Chains A and B, each alone.
Chain A
């Protein structure tokens, strides 16, 4: 039986197709843009094409994400936190703490061996603990988003940043550039800032190993390094970390469709 999970994120939409609740058949991603509904359908079709399947062959669709309402064809929907826990434990059965940093929110959760959520915290109010912060900083430093992490890893110095707010931090980065600090050191300061933000959220909920990172920001190696340093434990980045929510939704779809 084929089930699907669709994660309607703030910036991108992710679709995962799952066979018998066990085997991942396809993963597709699309920028949400102005018409998230159309983008969702596009991502869905891309996933079907990859797997060589037709829509009629999908027995159950479960949606998740901030814009889940944009996928009316989904039979049911689950919370992002619930989807993250399911997906993370599927990929890494020892995962007990999941940190998810997406474009417009940061989340941390603790779960049991079945991927059931025990406790969680979400920041969706402030860009300072989300991917948008990194985008603003990359813009202020005039580097590509993907270059920001590798740049920070080359840094040898430490500059403290005063600003927490992404808007103020952007001006502060411009000032640091004028003060002739190296882009490497500024990039590191930016990572320390977001890392500290996420860490304080993780500490509030508490964490136990294994700690896994998911969400788009975990593709940034310097962010992962900062989290390792802050939490003083090994932090594992799951494969294709931005698809974990969609995968979790596909697993729940399988459960709801009666797959054992």
Chain B
């Protein structure tokens, strides 16, 4: 089969520092997104293990696989998990979840944990949507804006470009800086039109990296306009897959004139972390 350039690496992790054995409350958060699914296991509110994989055609199966993979490599069994919260696009389709909570709430809560309580603005850049969230010091949502209607400014748009240019998606950011001079951004907003515009640029002799630079900067600008509408207050954190693309992140930082907070863990798991933290609160308040 031909190489699929958009296909990012799935990953899993277990904490080398903590063990579940002494923990009072073990909770789980499962974030079934349109493109990726994460299962996060927390021991007394500390990150213990997680998995991050591609969402398949069935949400229940994807949730099941993610949990299995998160547990793999630990000696924990799923019956020890006190409570599970499902979130994300497929949150109502997590068969083993005790409850579903929206991904907006979960991302804000997760970002509060992963980037610290000073975070006031969270940008979640998902596979098929993009959300700008304002939150308080507890990670509670104050307001949000969302684009889930248009592929421009979402991970899907970046996938289209990685395929078009045949560049593995993890390398897009790095390569986009290997240009003599920063080109003007791709002018079409629509991904379909941007793709034909990019084909034209390639035919006109632009090297791949220059086209990548032009697209990363167009995407950064697109997100900037969303953030501008809601207003950005420091600290500013980015969650979701695009957070790993420095080509977009650095250009967005420049446009905003501020630096993005560094994450404690994979930015893709923020929703799952938030869900697992909500699960812990629910258990502690006896609402589980």
Contact = CB atoms under 8 A, between A and B. Distances in A.
Contact of B150 (A132, A133, A136, A165): A165
A168 B192 contact: no
Nearest to B188: A125
| Contact residues of A: prevailing secondary structure | helix
B205 to A, nearest CB: 12
Contact of A168 (B151, B196, B203): B151
A127 interface: yes
Contacts of A127: 190-193
Interface residues of A, number: 17
Given A34-B203, A165-B151, A167-B151, A125 B57 contact: no
A126 B150 contact: yes
A130 B71 CA distance: 48
A196 B57 CA distance: 28
Contacts of B57: 175, 178
Interface in B167-181: none
Interface string A21-40: 00000000000001000000
Contact of A164 (B149, B192, B193): B149
A165 B151 CA distance: 6
A155 B169 CA distance: 39
Contacts of A166: 151, 190-192
Interface in B114-143: 128
B149 A167 contact: no
A168 B190 contact: no
Contact of B160 (A128, A133, A167): A167
A235 to B, nearest CB: 26
Contacts of B93: none
A126 B156 CA distance: 16
B245 interface: no
A104 interface: yes
B203 A167 contact: no
B88 interface: no
Contacts of B151: 165-168
Contacts of B149: 164-165
Contacts of B191: 127, 165-167
B271 interface: no
B110 interface: no
Contacts of B200: 34
A127 B193 CA distance: 7
Interface string A128-140: 1000110010000
3 closest A-B pairs by beta carbon, nearest first, are A127-B192, A167-B151, A167-B191
Given A127-B192, A132-B196, A165-B150, 17 more contacts: A34-B203, A104-B196, A125-B188, A125-B189, A125-B190, A126-B189, A127-B191, A164-B150, A165-B151, A166-B191, A166-B192, A167-B151, A167-B156, A167-B160, A167-B191, A168-B128, A168-B156
Interface of B: 57, 128, 149-151, 156-157, 160, 188-193, 196, 200, 203
